[in-house]
Amino acid sequence: METNPAAPFRDRIGATMPATIIALPEHGAAVSALSDFLVSGLALTDEDRATAREGDRVHIRICAVDLGTEPGTHRVTVATP
């Protein structure tokens, strides 16, 4: 049985942690890696987006965790601190 990749974050709601920007699409949220197995969308201000680059380390705040019941339904909602 595979471990739910969101599970380690369930006790960290409200905490800040580092993440790595792995994609900066032209429109929409940046994509940040929270772990080797979990990514999350990250809304950036226009000012932050102008200077952000793939590979940058950023600090994020864990807002909510949904462990889901089916594969692929687990979610970790994040925001900038």
What does the pLDDT look like over 16-69, one tens digit per residue?
A: 999 999 999 988 889 999 988 889 999 988 888 889 999 999 999 999 999 988
Name residues whose C-beta falls within 8 Å of residue 65's C-beta, 6 or more positions apart in sequence: 6, 9, 10, 12, 13, 75, 76, 77
- What's the confidence (pLDDT) of residue 68? 87
Is this prediction's pTM over 0.75? yes
Q: Is 1 helix (H, G, I), strand (E, B) or coil?
A: coil
Task: Say if CB 76 and CB 9 are below 8 A apart.
Answer: yes
Torsional sign, CA 43, 47, 62, 81: negative
- What's the confidence (pLDDT) of residue 62? 96
With CA atoms as reference, report the closest residue to 24 among 50, 56, 53. 53
